């Protein structure tokens, strides 16, 4: 085998390697963790939910908002941020069709409120807003709203 033939084989090998590496990179870019690592978004959403679900009956405005987003009145201990990948995966599978994006392209913040979930994908903004939805415990969407 001539040296020229060897160089051709090496070049082909390198090209194939490059193509495979590139493809793998693309696959990786299209799949993101199901749970968002955005702690600011987590705190913000949880704080907003807490403010609503703990509203006293005398605060008609907050109560009305709570009702409008279909959340129950509960104690603070019943509000939590979900970081389990399995729940986040279910949540983003439910949210993604509403947003019109592939589920694997979004990471979500999930706040559990008794038998409800409030879900948003912080990176999926629409203008200044983050579309946010309230789901049942079976992840059936009941309300969507700007946030």
Partner 1 sequence: MPLLAWRGHALLTLTGAAFVVSCSNESTSGPLGVVADSGLQHSVACASGSVTITPPNTSPVPLCDFGSSYVLVELAFTGVITATPPGGQPYSRDPRGWPWGNGCVEGVYAISSTDGPWSAGPCTQSGQQPPPGYEMLRGAVNALWMGPVPNLPENQPSYSGDFTVSYTRVTGSGTAIADKWVLQAPGAVTFTATINPMTVGGGVQVPYSIHWRWQPDEPGGGDPAANCGPWLVCTTTISASGTMYADFIINGEATSKAVRIAVNSCPPTGDPWLDNPDFRKKLEDDLAASTPDGSIPDGRYETPGSWWTDDATGRPFYVPIPDYTSDNCHYTGGWPSVPGATPGVTTHTHPYRPWELIPYCGTGQMPIGTRYLPATPSNPDWNNANNHGVNGCIIEVGRIFCYPPGVPSGQRGANVTKYKKQPDGCYAKQP
Residues that bind partner 1 (CB under 8 A): 40-41, 43-44, 46-52, 58-59, 61, 65, 68-69, 98-100, 122, 126-133, 141, 143-147
Q: How far is the CB of 113 from partner 1 (least distance, A)?
A: 14
The span from the CA of 130 to the CA of 145, in Å, is 9
- Residue placing its CB nearer to partner 1 in the complex, 35 or 96: 96
Residue 87 Cβ, how far from partner 1 at the closest point, in Å?
A: 20
**Between residues 59 and 104, which has the closer beta carbon with respect to partner 1?**
59
Q: Closest CB to partner 1 among 28 and 127?
A: 127
Which residues touch 48 (CB under 8 Å, ≥6 apart)?
Answer: 147
C-alpha to C-alpha distance for 75 and 79, rounded to whole angstroms = 7
Q: At what angle do helices 39-53 and 60-68 cross, to 10 degrees?
A: 120
**What is the spatial distance between Cα 127 and Cα 106, in angstroms, rounded to a whole number?**
17
β-strand pairing of 109-113 with 79-82: antiparallel
Give least dist CB 86 to partner 1, A.
23
Nearer to partner 1, 30 or 125 (CB): 125
- Angle among Cα 79, 84, 90 to the nearest 5 degrees reads 95
């Amino acid at each position: 085998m001539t040296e020229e033939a060897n160089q051709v084989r090496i070049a082909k090998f390198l090209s194939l390697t490059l193509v495979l590496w590139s493809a793998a990179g693309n696959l990786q870019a299209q799949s993101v963790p199901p749970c968002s690592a955005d702690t600011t978004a987590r705190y913000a959403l949880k704080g907003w939910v807490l403010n609503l679900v703990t509203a006293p009956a005398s605060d008609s405005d907050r109560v009305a908002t709570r009702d409008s987003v279909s959340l129950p009145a509960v104690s603070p201990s019943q509000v939590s941020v979900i970081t389990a990948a399995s729940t986040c995966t279910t949540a983003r599978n439910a949210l993604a069709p509403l947003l019109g994006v592939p589920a694997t392209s979004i990471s979500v913040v999930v706040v559990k409120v008794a038998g409800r979930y409030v879900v948003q994908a912080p990176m999926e903004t629409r203008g200044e807003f983050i579309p946010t939805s309230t789901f049942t415990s079976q992840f059936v969407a009941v309300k969507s709203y700007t946030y």
